[in-house]
Amino acid sequence: MGTKMRIGINCLSFNSSQRCGAEEVIKNLCKGFVYNGHESELIFFCYKSMRDKLVSICPNAKYVVLDERKNPKHSILSNIYIQTLKFHKIYLQYNLHVIFFASAGIGLFNYKIPVIVLPHDIQHVSHPEIQINKGRLKKLIYKNCHKLFYAIDFTLANKIIAISNTDKNEIIRYYPKLSNKVKCIYNPIDISQEYNIENEKGNYIIAVNIQYSHKNIIILIKAFEIVHRELPDIELFLIGQESECTQKLKEYVIEHHLEERVHFPGYI
């Protein structure tokens, strides 16, 4: 029998305060590894908060837990520090065949083994106008800083995973010299979960992850406003942690007298 792969999965971009779609992607990916019998080949590099979540999915994987207390917010610069100095000091100890980075930000140094990165999107570069609501100069600085950080990641990586053809085309548009590295692989989803909705009655539309302006939830609300004229019993639930963006959505709902039909239950 051949030697088993030793797959390093770097989850150091996830911290205890995050509840995001990228985290769900890595959880569902791990379910796939378990289902296909590759759980014992995985070595996770993460913080304790992420380890606790993953152990319930992959109890037989190996976990390398780093200290989270010094880096609670995970800004771009703190993530570069973690990946470049902390992770680079330890990854060679585990005789890995490949490293998979579960999000962008892989550090500044070359790796001695193949690297795969999943940036999820490059909207900071492709659509900076919906990421930051400040002056033109700040938007330009914001865009170019992120463009540089992605360029470093994509140059150091052997493969780049795009989550859609649109995402793939945007990566190739801004980094054409690296186009041969990009592969479109859709996000894994878990369709095995069952929910008991037998006692629930009503007509609902639900949207999640509403706290970011680039999700364009305001268009959904405006569309709902039109639909509601024809379907007066329908309701809209906007789920997610609240932010400055959420407050603007609430203001629109109040101004257009939709309070009884558009609901903000917060994070669920």
Give residue-wise pLDDT tens across range 76-121: 778 888 899 999 999 999 999 999 999 999 999 999 999 999 999 8
Q: Is residue 211's pLDDT more than 80? A: no
Q: What is the pLDDT of residue 1?
A: 44
Within this chain, do residues 46 and 100 fall inside the same structural domain, yes or no?
A: yes
| Structural domains in the chain (count) | 2
210 and 179 in one domain?
Answer: no
Q: Say if 256 falls within a structural domain.
A: yes
% residues pLDDT > 90 (the chain): 52
Structure confidence at residue 78 (pLDDT): 81
- Note whether residue 71 is domain-resident: yes
Work out the average pLDDT over 225-236: 90
Sequence-distant contacts of 161-167: CB under 8 A, at least 24 apart: 161/116, 161/117, 161/118, 161/119, 161/185, 163/118, 163/120, 163/121, 163/187, 167/120, 167/121, 167/122
Distance CA 203, CA 210 (A): 20
Calpha distance 152→170 (Å, rounded): 16
Same domain? 135 vs 47: yes
CA 255 from chain centre, in angstroms, equals 33
Q: Are residues 66 and 161 in the same domain?
A: yes
Question: Do 79 and 166 have their domain in common?
Answer: yes
Q: Would residue 179 count as lying in a domain?
A: yes
Among 104-108, 150-154, 187-191, the minimum mean pLDDT is found in 187-191
**Same domain, residue pair 213 and 160:** no
The residue segments making up the domain with residue 117 are: 7-184
- Strand extents, DSSP E, 11-118: 42-47, 62-66, 98-101, 115-117
Q: Do residue 209 and residue 179 come from a single domain? A: no
- Does residue 213 belong to any structural domain of this protein? yes
